[in-house]
């Protein structure tokens, strides 16, 4: 072969190789979309609000007419104030069922059994599975991911973020575990907040939506504890404890395409589209943050009244970090012991958790000093990958409210009317009293809630047929130097107009009263503070109200009967003010034998 031919041969070979390289490069350019191309495609998809338009939230609304149920006869256990139980035999219940509907737009997706393989910080989810509320989310299996920045802002140190080079469940959870492990070793803690909510239970989804969380993924009725078994004589209240310990946050990408690496080729994008995993009807969403902590939902079903069950739950919550005996009455302890309790919780043994609830010492489960390592994923926020908006979904549910009236089948003296659920517009627990608050001759219900810094009252006016109409709540404007919780509430007519008024009194080293005259519409006229002189006051004095002199309305009475029996009076002036004469004590002639153990003090018209 001549040199000229050899040169020509090699020249052709080089040219062929160059053409092959150019062709390959051109093909790679076609197969590999830039991040701008991916962003453009995702941003041209419909917005989340277009794909899943939010409906108007709807409070519980009755649908149609109630349907009657067959009468049943039951033996009913009544829990008394001292904790004892009285059995009422052969109580007949006549019931009806009223269908209701409810809708809400929860942004918090709480899960008791999350699919950890799919749900991790930065995970991609098929939006259709979230939008349609099927109860099971579908992941978006794209492995070609760009590095992801994950942080825990609640950790107050310089080791609260990681860059995860190849994001997946294992690498992201490893990064989170590394940050939490280092924080634990250094003794770092995060602020822990505990929230507590209660709702009357009619269905799992109804109670969840009324608590402000999604009802699609709780698994309450499907849990090992079983469904709610409710007799017609019983009421069920559901409570949720939610202890947030820290939040894992994913740094939002500058553009949607920045979620993916250069290995995410056009062919792979087209494959996801052709398989229906991405498209106008299946928007990609990602997990933007995860709240870690501990969460428990449980129900208490009892023959006790709704208000008694709620007060029992509130007392258990108030006792966290304090004394059980100081917060729970004998009746409330009995309610916890005798009720049917169902639990769904994250963390902890189910039997141990049940025993904890029955004991009333709920601080065994929830404590502000819980270690970070005990936290588990509780709730998730989903965002649309195209525009970063929160991927909220309207959830609706239908449920039935069963109302029953009870009449003893054996001869009795009362007819039990249908229960009326008024709701309670002030915090629990409340003190419930009775009085004619508008002068129409009918007894109304008075609900009063006091805490160290507030005093709230609401009136349920009698309609004369066993039903009531709730007024708007009012708050006393005074801020006593002592806690409102130390004051005792009594009722009386202090301006002699036939309408019941309110008085709050505190006796310790001083004797102080706040009088509120009823305006007849659920509001009150606050009178100036009434303080009496120093006559050796102490907490041994008991406070009562009654008309002592037969004029100007009810008077104020204080009595002690330890060692001696001594009484002080403040007579009403008929305008909400009182006259107290210092030093005018009334001692019983018998000077010994007085004891709180076997003597009780009360006010009554003895002579007529």
Q: From CA 484, how far away is CA 452, in angstroms rounded?
A: 5
Nearest in space to 367 (alpha carbons), one of 241, 184, 237: 241
CB atoms within 10 A of CB 379: 23
- Across the chain, which distance is largest between two alpha carbons, in Å? 147
Residues facing 246 on adjacent strands: 292
Q: What's the pLDDT tens digit per position in 270-296?
A: 999 999 999 999 999 999 999 888 877
pLDDT digits (tens, 9 = 90+) for 464-515: 888 899 999 999 999 998 899 999 999 999 999 999 999 999 999 899 999 9
Q: What pLDDT shows up at residue 9? A: 46
C-alpha closest to that of 346 among 393, 383, 297, 396: 297
Quickly count: other Cβ atoms within 10 Å of residue 306's Cβ: 17
3-state DSSP call for residue 94?
Answer: strand
CATH numbers and ranges of domains, the chain? 104-397 (3.90.840.10), 422-587 (2.130.10.130)
In angstroms, the Cα distances linking 454 to 56, 160, 525 are 34, 40, 17
Q: Which residues of 272-298 are buried (b: 16+ CB within 10 A; e: fewer)?
A: beeeebbbeebbbbbbbbbbbbbbbbb
Q: Tally DSSP H helices, then E strands, for the chain.
A: 11, 29
Q: Enumerate residue ranges in the chain where pLDDT < 50.
A: 1, 3-32, 220-229, 348
> Can you read off the two tokens belonging to residue 461?
């006016």
* DSSP assignment letter at 16: H
DSSP state, residue 531: E
Bridge partner residues of 400 (DSSP): 99
Which pLDDT value is given to residue 215? Answer: 61
The whole-model pTM stands at 0.56
Q: Which residues contact 535 (CB under 8 A, 6 or more apart)?
A: 568, 582, 583, 585
Q: Which two tokens stand for residue 23?
A: 């062709």
Contacts of 434 (CB under 8 A, 6+ apart): 443, 444, 445, 446, 491
Helix, strand, coil in percent for the chain, rounding step 5: 20, 35, 45
In a 10 Å sphere around its CB, with 0-12 CB exposed, 13-18 middle and 19+ buried, how is residue 547 labelled? middle
Task: Write phi, then psi, for 27 (nearest 5 degrees).
Answer: -65, -40
| pLDDT, position 3 | 46
- d(CA 605, CA 608) in angstroms, rounded, equals 6
Cα–Cα distances in angstroms (integers) from residue 342 to residues 18, 229, 346, in the given order:
74, 10, 14
d(CA 522, CA 249): 48
pLDDT of residue 517: 97
């Amino acid at each position: 072969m001549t040199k000229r031919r050899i040169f020509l041969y090699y020249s052709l070979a080089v040219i062929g190789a160059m053409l092959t390289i150019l062709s390959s490069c051109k093909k790679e350019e076609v197969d590999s979309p830039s991040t701008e191309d991916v962003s453009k495609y995702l941003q041209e998809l419909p917005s989340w609000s277009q794909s899943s338009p939010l409906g108007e939230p709807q409070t519980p609304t009755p649908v149609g007419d109630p349907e009657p149920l067959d009468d049943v006869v039951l033996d009913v256990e009544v829990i008394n104030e001292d904790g004892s139980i009285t059995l009422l035999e052969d109580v007949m219940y006549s019931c009806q069922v009223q269908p209701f509907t409810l809708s809400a737009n929860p942004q918090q997706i709480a899960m008791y059994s999350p699919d950890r393989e799919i749900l991790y910080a930065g995970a991609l989810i098929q939006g259709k599975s979230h939008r349609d509320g099927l109860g099971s989310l579908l992941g978006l299996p794209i492995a070609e991911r760009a590095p992801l920045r994950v942080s825990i802002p609640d950790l107050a140190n310089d080791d609260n973020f990681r860059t995860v080079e190849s994001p997946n469940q294992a690498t992201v959870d490893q990064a989170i575990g590394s940050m939490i492990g280092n924080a634990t070793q250094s003794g770092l803690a995060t602020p822990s907040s505990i929230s507590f909510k209660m709702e009357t239970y009619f269905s799992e989804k109804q109670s969840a939506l009324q608590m402000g969380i999604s009802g699609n993924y709780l698994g309450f009725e499907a849990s090992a504890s079983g469904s709610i078994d409710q007799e017609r004589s019983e009421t069920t209240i559901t409570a949720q404890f939610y202890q947030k310990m820290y939040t894992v946050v994913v740094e939002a990408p500058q553009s949607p395409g920045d979620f993916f690496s250069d290995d995410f080729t056009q062919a792979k994008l087209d494959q996801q589209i052709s398989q229906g995993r991405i498209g106008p009807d299946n928007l990609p969403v990602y997990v933007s943050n995860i709240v870690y902590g501990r969460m428990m939902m449980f129900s208490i079903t009892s023959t006790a009244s709704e208000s008694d069950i709620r007060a029992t739950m509130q007392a258990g919550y108030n006792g966290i970090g304090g004394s059980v005996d100081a917060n729970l009455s004998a009746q409330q302890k009995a309610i916890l012991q005798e009720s049917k309790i169902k639990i769904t919780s994250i963390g902890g043994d189910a039997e141990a958790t049940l025993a904890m609830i029955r004991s009333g010492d709920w601080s065994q489960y929830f404590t502000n000093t819980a270690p970070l390592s005990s936290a588990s994923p509780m709730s998730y926020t989903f965002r649309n990958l195209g525009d970063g908006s929160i991927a909220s979904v309207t959830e609706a549910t239908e449920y039935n409210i069963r109302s029953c009236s009870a009449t003893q089948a054996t001869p009795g003296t009362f007819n039990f009317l249908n229960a009326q659920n008024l709701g309670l517009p002030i915090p629990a627990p409340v003190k419930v009293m009775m009085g004619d608050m508008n002068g129409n001759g009918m007894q109304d219900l008075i609900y009063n809630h006091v805490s160290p810094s507030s005093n709230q009252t609401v009136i349920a006016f009698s309609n004369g047929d066993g039903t009531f109409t709730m007024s708007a709540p009012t708050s006393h404007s005074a801020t006593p130097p002592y806690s409102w919780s130390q004051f005792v509430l009594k009722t009386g007519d202090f301006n002699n107009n036939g309408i019941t008024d309110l008085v709050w009194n505190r006796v310790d080293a001083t004797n102080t009263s706040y009088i509120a005259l009823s305006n007849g519409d659920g509001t009150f006229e606050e009178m100036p503070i009434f303080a009496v002189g120093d006559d050796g006051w102490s907490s041994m004095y008991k406070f009562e109200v009654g008309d002592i002199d037969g004029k100007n309305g009810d008077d104020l009475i204080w009595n002690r009967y330890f060692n001696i029996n001594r009484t002080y009076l403040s007579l009403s002036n008929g305008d909400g003010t009182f006259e107290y004469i210092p030093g005018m004590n009334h001692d019983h002639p018998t000077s010994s034998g007085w004891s709180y153990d076997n003597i009780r003090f009360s006010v009554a018209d003895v002579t007529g």
